[in-house]
Amino acid sequence: MAGALDGIRIIDMSNVVSGPMAVQMLADQGADVIKIEAPGGGDIARPWGEVRGGVGAMFAIMNRNKRSIVLNMQEDDGRNILLDLVAGADVLVQNFRPGAMDRMGLGYDTVKKRKEDLVYVSISGYGEDGPYAKRRAYDAMIQTATGYAAIQAGSNQGVPDLIKNIVCDKVTALTTAQAITAALLARERGAGGQEVKVSMLEAGLAFIWPDGMFNNTMVGEGGTPMPPLLSLVRPSRTADGYVTCAAVSDLEWQALTKALGKPEMGTHPKYAGMMDRFSNWEEIMTWIDEELAPRKTDEVCALLDQGDVPFAKLNTPDNLHDDPQIRHSQSLVEMEHQHAGVMRMAQPPARFQHTPSDIRYLSPMLGQHTDEILCEMGRSPDVIAAYRAAGVVE
């Protein structure tokens, strides 16, 4: 069965994370993706993560279901090949710094002349203009600029820290993927092509705001602040591992206290309502820690599960593939890469009834499909050889 985006062609000129991951999600949903890479190494993220057989794990995940062509954009023939590809495409995605595409002669106003209804997506760090527009940006910079690092300090520690995950890059990818599908739907309804601009700064702000900034939303005085939600819960050590449990509603709180043998705490006035518990959460967490510490993980999980209390056993990167729910749902898949061998990765998370997402093929080697794509465009073997001799393609 064809995927939801079958028949859509995307030209992916992006590098590193935000663009490649966004396009990978759409590729999983059936889009035909041609990844444009520069001579001399291609996407700088190619060697990131564990490397085997010349394949970096992180690059492999974010560039599956894509074909790779190496084009030299410093050459007129390279730019002309790109423009010919654009003429048959629906979407172009790039994440160069603002102004770079214009300097290459590939800005939106130029490119749309070759494909009027093109969806042209530009991802930047801080936006197309403004005091930070020309700055280089990676996830750590955006976490620092948008409040993530400050929030990690907590109310007591006071030392800013980074989330140990490239959350701003990835939420930019999610934002971009959604924006592309919205623009394609708008085009289908008659809006035509358009330029779509996404900045990591604004994607990060939008993502952090609902909970991370709920004490900074009401302008002026008079509001009652609340502790950050995830400061109210933490993994608790058991005799042989860790378990995280939480009780938000009154019923969950009563179930938790009953499961841990202290039902009287469930109706104590000090903890009667949700906001009362929030005010005394450190005391509650200390009690939970003390109750869980002498018990084995399986015992704790059985008690909490029987009591219908929200909980999770700590999985590690080395063992999460053995989690019963993950195995049951087939959330992870193992596939053979032609150079890297067997690789494990997450399945596309959205399960479509009639237009399934699929991992059709794994990440390409640099320039693996250069000749194939040029042949599809009608270039003869002699012309391709001349391109290669002139340094236009690899």
**Residue 252 maps to which CATH number?**
3.30.1540.10
For 271, the domain range is 236-313
Q: Is the pLDDT of residue 225 over 90?
A: no
For residue 56, is it within any domain?
yes
User: 354 and 309, same structural domain?
Assistant: no
pLDDT band at 8 (very low <50, low <70, confident <90, very high): very high
Domain boundary among 313, 347, 367: 313
User: 309 and 265, same structural domain?
Assistant: yes
Tell me the three-class secondary structure of 277-315, residue by residue.
HHHCHHHHHHHHHHHHCCCCHHHHHHHHHHCCCCEEECC
**Stretch among 31-35, 241-245, 253-257, 280-284 having the lowest mean pLDDT:** 280-284
75-90 pLDDT, tens digit per residue, is: 999 999 999 999 999 9
User: 367 and 303, same structural domain?
Assistant: no
Q: Which residues pair with 11 in a beta bridge?
A: 34, 92
Q: Cα angle at 303 between 300 and 306, to 5 degrees?
A: 145
319-357 pLDDT, tens digit per residue, is: 999 999 999 999 999 999 999 999 999 999 999 999 999
Domain boundary among 260, 285, 313: 313
Query: Residue 329, exposed/middle/buried by CB under 10 A (0-12, 13-18, 19+)?
Result: exposed
Report the pLDDT averaged over residues 92-106.
97
User: 291 and 343, same structural domain?
Assistant: no
Question: Rounded to whole angstroms, what are the CA distances from 275 to 149, 209, 248?
Answer: 26, 21, 9
Domain boundary among 259, 288, 313: 313
pLDDT at residue number 143: 98
3-state secondary structure of 393: strand
**What are the residues whose beta carbons fall under 8 Å from the beta carbon of 369, sequence distance 6 or more?**
34, 67, 68, 69
For residue 309, is it within any domain?
yes
For residue 117, is it within any domain?
yes
pLDDT at residue number 126: 98
User: 184 and 290, same structural domain?
Assistant: no
pLDDT band at 203 (very low <50, low <70, confident <90, very high): very high
Report the pLDDT averaged over residues 16-24.
99
Measured CA to CA, the distance from residue 380 to residue 152 in angstroms comes to: 57
User: 203 and 119, same structural domain?
Assistant: yes
Report the pLDDT averaged over residues 207-223.
93
Query: Residue 152, exposed/middle/buried by CB under 10 A (0-12, 13-18, 19+)?
Result: middle
For residue 192, is it within any domain?
yes
Q: How many alpha carbons lie under 13 Å from residue 219 in its C-beta half-sphere?
A: 0
For residue 226, is it within any domain?
no
User: 118 and 84, same structural domain?
Assistant: yes
Q: How many alpha carbons lie under 13 Å from residue 308 in its C-beta half-sphere?
A: 6
User: 266 and 124, same structural domain?
Assistant: no
Q: Cα angle at 79 between 193 and 177, to 5 degrees?
A: 40
User: 168 and 56, same structural domain?
Assistant: yes
3-state secondary structure of 372: helix
For residue 222, is it within any domain?
no
3-state secondary structure of 86: helix
Q: Which residue has the tokens 């939600």?
A: 229
Tell me what percent of the residues of the chain surpass a pLDDT of 90: 92
What CATH number is given to the structural domain containing 103?
A: 3.40.50.10540
pLDDT at residue number 298: 98
The continuous run of DSSP H or E covering 185 comes out as helix 167-188
Please give the tally of structural domains in the chain: 2
For residue 366, is it within any domain?
yes
User: 158 and 32, same structural domain?
Assistant: yes
Amino acid of residue 102? D
User: 301 and 354, same structural domain?
Assistant: no
pTM of the model: 0.95
User: 85 and 139, same structural domain?
Assistant: yes
**What are the residues whose beta carbons fall under 8 Å from the beta carbon of 15, sequence distance 6 or more?**
43, 44, 45, 95
Average pLDDT over the chain reads 96
Measured CA to CA, the distance from residue 265 to residue 211 in angstroms comes to: 28
For residue 223, is it within any domain?
no
pLDDT band at 156 (very low <50, low <70, confident <90, very high): low
Q: Is the pLDDT of residue 155 over 70?
A: no
Q: What share of the chain is helix, strand, coil (3-state, %, to 5)?
A: 40, 15, 45
